[in-house]
Amino acid sequence: WRLLLLLSIFLSVVGFLRTQFYLDYVGSAAAEMEYRVPSFVGDPKIAFLFLTRRDLPLDFLWDSFFENVETTHFSVYIHSEPGFSFNETTTRTKLFHDRQLSDSIKVSWGEASMIEAERLLFREALRDPANQRFILLSDSCIPLYNFSYIYSYLIMRSPKSFVDSFTVKKDSEYNPLMSPVISKKNWMKGSQWVALVRKHAEVVVDDEIVFPLFQKFCKRRPAVVASLGRKNDILQKQHNCIPDEHYVQTLLAV
């Protein structure tokens, strides 16, 4: 019976430790992923994520697109340059008022800041559990179909993300220094404008592996300035990898 007693003490200690470990794990995961929801009940929304330079010149088209649409079916988020705001003086579309992210960053074309801005949009939109599809849009995108068509297509009929993704033979935009995390095989290219399901939007926001490599190894080559001499050569050898046309595609491939 002593053996039995020892065994039961041992088992209860193991049980206790496991519970502690489990609680620790759940606790820290909850802190990091406050926007996570296991399942959502209710009307699903499409999140429209606008990545703009300043204002939205085609706001009048979006205004008629969203006319008479239930506000429980969509949400709008805008990343524009810091300090810019969408209000009565900058847009005629009420839906865009105050939809600019408060933590927007200065974006430089061809640099990783562009994909960081995308990630900020996805992160903000993930906070609303009703958002189930995430469409990334530029300030020159226009809808080709009406809202009800797009809603039923994306929400009702397709459980998938839409990402334009292909490989390019001899892609000089690939930087071999990114391997082995990003192998040549996983280096994909495609349109920056994607429509993601929640699971893939979470992959983009949580990524701590692929994004830092883009930050480190993707630099925009500056214009040639003859007076810089040899320094010019070094700057020109920097790697122009066009992050916005490779990031989501490559991340999902990895």
- Residue type at position 203: V
Shortest Å, Cβ 138 to ligand NAG: 20
Residues 6 or more apart in contact with residue 42 via CB below 8 angstroms: 72, 130
What tokens appear for 220 in the block?
């925009």
Determine if 87 is a binding residue for ligand NAG (CB under 6 A).
yes
Shortest Å, Cβ 225 to ligand NAG: 34
- Residue type at position 141: C
Nearer to ligand NAG by C-beta: 58 or 69?
69
Determine if 84 is a binding residue for ligand NAG (CB under 6 A).
yes
Shortest Å, Cβ 196 to ligand NAG: 23
Pairing of strands 45-51, 74-79: parallel
Among the listed residues 108, 140, 148, 152, the single contact to ligand NAG using CB under 6 A: 148
Q: Which of 122, 139, 142, 143 is nearest to 53 (CA)?
A: 139
Determine if 152 is a binding residue for ligand NAG (CB under 6 A).
no
Determine if 64 is a binding residue for ligand NAG (CB under 6 A).
no
| CA pair distance 162, 137, nearest whole angstrom | 13
Among the listed residues 16, 21, 22, 149, the single contact to ligand NAG using CB under 6 A: 149
Determine if 162 is a binding residue for ligand NAG (CB under 6 A).
no
Among the listed residues 28, 108, 146, 236, the single contact to ligand NAG using CB under 6 A: 146
DSSP E strands in the chain: the ranges are: 45-51, 74-79, 131-138, 195-197
What tokens appear for 116 in the block?
């960081």
Determine if 89 is a binding residue for ligand NAG (CB under 6 A).
yes
Shortest Å, Cβ 60 to ligand NAG: 18
Determine if 69 is a binding residue for ligand NAG (CB under 6 A).
no
Q: What angle do CA 254, 200, 193 make, to 5 degrees?
A: 90
> Are 84 and 139 spatial neighbours (Cβ–Cβ below 8 Å)?
no
Q: Which residues bind ligand NAG (CB under 6 A)?
A: 84-85, 87-90, 145-146, 148-149
